[in-house]
Amino acid sequence: MRISSFNENTAKEARDALTELKAKHKLKGLVLDLRNNPGGLLDQSVGVADMFLEGGEVVSQRGRDTSDIVRYHAKKGDMMKGLPIVVLTNPGSASAAEIVAGALQDQKRASIVGLTTFGKGSVQSVMDLGEGRAVKLTIARYYTPSGRSIQKTGIEPDLEVAQSQEQAKIIASSAFQYSEAAYKNALDADEGKARRDKHEVSEVPPEDYDTKAGDFQLARALDVLKYNGDVKLAAANPRGKAYAATAEAKPGSRFEKKMQAKTAAAKAAPEAVKTEPAAPKPPEKPAEPAKPATPKP
């Protein structure tokens, strides 16, 4: 199920779509696609997260004053009845989309597959100054149920998967290329926290994978569902491979060390000793029966 934005009807439309889907199919799990979802209305993101939770906090809004906290909670009634859920995210998932992903991840209700989200975790308010003038102020930050700030850092996936090798190269060279952290005047993240820097992406499509015809991130999300939502099992059975910080494995890189370890293990393995099957022995001749004794006269 894909949600492209959070407008005033998103929660209702999502409920209706899921109800129809359940009526037509016997679902074993659900993939919630929030990739390239720029966000939208807060109440609609709370409503969507509420579809899959049995209660608990969805998100909190905290201002400068420690007492200035507004908490939003889910009601009882998981529409998926505990079946596994995977949420797909990428750097285009922002704001309200990050609220949904963070809530389901923190409450252990869904696994996140894809890439780290945009990192838009601030709350703005528009103050009317009259005479057609207004000022937009940042008044608070959004926090996930466990107390994580979304601002700049974003929501990191449980299983990091690039959609293409080109995308992996971008992340290997600059993780901030498309994110809130790329803006110099963006509100800082919480003290001591920072967005993950450039790095090797855990999984990348194989070179022969047709990214135009196939959706590699979706394929891996379905793999997680196949393992009943167990990300560790899916990660242990990858379809792609890790991509080094450059197209080649640099000396000392994690990618090169993996290759060296595999090569060393292969060399250390003893070769199987080939043995020729023993030639069958010719059958023994049966013993000749003893001649009867000649009776004496």
Closest CA to 161 of 120, 110, 125, 211: 211
Classify 266 as helix, strand or coil. Answer: helix
The one catalytic residue among 93, 95, 111, 122? 95
pTM (global) more than 0.85: no
Tell me which residue of 247, 79, 199, 90 sits closest to 155, measured CA to CA: 90
If DSSP states are collapsed to H, E and C, what string results for 138-202?
A: EEEEEECCCCCECCCCCCCCCEEECCCHHHHHHHHHCCCCCCHHHCCCCCCCCCCCCCCCCCCCC
Asked about 95 being catalytic, the answer comes back as: yes
Q: For residue 295, what pLDDT is reported?
A: 47
Give me the CATH topology for the region 9-240: 2-enoyl-CoA Hydratase; Chain A, domain 1 (3.90.226)
Rounded to the nearest 5 degrees, what angle is found at the Cα of 117, between the Cα atoms of 81 and 182? 165
pLDDT of res. 183: 87
Query: What pLDDT is stored for residue 250 in this prediction?
Result: 41
Task: Select which of 120, 122, 169, 223 is catalytic.
Answer: 120
Q: Is 149 a catalytic residue?
A: no
pLDDT value of position 190: 79
For residue 30, CA distances in Å to 18, 58, 83, 162 come to 9, 19, 8, 20
Cα of first residue to Cα of last residue in the chain, in angstroms, is: 111
Which residue of the set 33, 50, 106, 223 is catalytic? 106
Residue with tokens 């995977």: 86
Q: H/E element holding 59?
A: strand 57-62
Give 10-residue mean pLDDT values along the chain (297 residues).
Answer: 97 98 96 97 97 98 89 97 98 97 98 97 90 90 95 96 94 85 85 86 90 92 96 90 44 44 48 40 48 46
CB-CB contact of 220 with 205 (8 Å): no
Q: Any catalytic annotation for residue 16?
A: no
Q: Domain residues of the chain, as ranges?
A: 9-240
